[in-house]
Amino acid sequence: MFLVTGATGNVGAELVRALAEAGEPVRAMSRAGRADGLPPGVAAVAGDLNRPGTVRDALDGARAMFLMPGYAGQRQILADARAAGVERVVMLSGKSAGTGDTGNAVAGYLIDAEAAVRESGLAWTFLRPTSFMSNALQLADQIRNGDEVRVPFPDVRTADIDPYDIARVALRALLSDEYAGQALELTGPEALLPADRVRVLGEVLGRDLRPVGLAHEEARVEMEARMPKPYVDAFFGFFVDGTLDESTVLPTVREVTGREPRTFAQWARGHADAF
């Protein structure tokens, strides 16, 4: 039995499908515990990672678990997992965990989450991906309303990754001890500017989309309207101050899964309906 937390998220949903396709028994955990859209045979369970008591029953009989980071109940959940006989944990982290910058709000909570797993006594693998291709969904409202698309950090190249590929690496790490004790840095196959992604979306949608780079002051105002200021400061640290470089393409996905990671064009074609 494999327990997948965050089972309705970008990576979790892909991992649930991958495990089910591989014929593995899966418990898909979300706060609501909804079964809608789950593959046949997958057990939907409700649990809140901030409340360890709600997760405890789902650990019984689980061989391994996929864990989301940054929740208040993490250390207790890890202790309960070990007591329940869970053998390994694969945790979704992020490339910024490798910076060691505990003063950065994003890197800091990932570093703390990784430390908790290392101290748990469980076998572990960390997945440290770059930015997700699915972040482009934040542009959907703009694209539905017109051809001008405003983007932050217009001069920053990132090798964004499809959550599908993160899930395929997670699958291998859950099924085998080959990657135990490793922090796997994951990237997509190409480093693109925000304008490149807008261009690709336009080609997929048959639209003449025009990217407009936001000044940093404009970007900060828009970002603070949808996320806490410490996280906005964190992203400005990454992409303005240059504390994080997500432009380097790495071969990890190919080495682990045996195939090349998906391109942004492939992701866009698969999600065109969202725009």
- CA 95, 265, 201, 169: dihedral to nearest 10 degrees? -30
Evaluate whether 126 touches 68 at the Cβ level (below 8 Å): no
Point out the residues of the chain with pLDDT beneath 50: none
pLDDT at 36: 87
Q: What is the DSSP letter of 188?
A: -
pTM listed for this prediction: 0.96
Type of residue found at 87: E
* Residues 153-204: tens digit of each pLDDT: 999 999 999 999 999 999 999 999 999 999 999 999 999 999 999 999 999 9
Longest Cα separation, the chain: 57
pLDDT at 180: 97
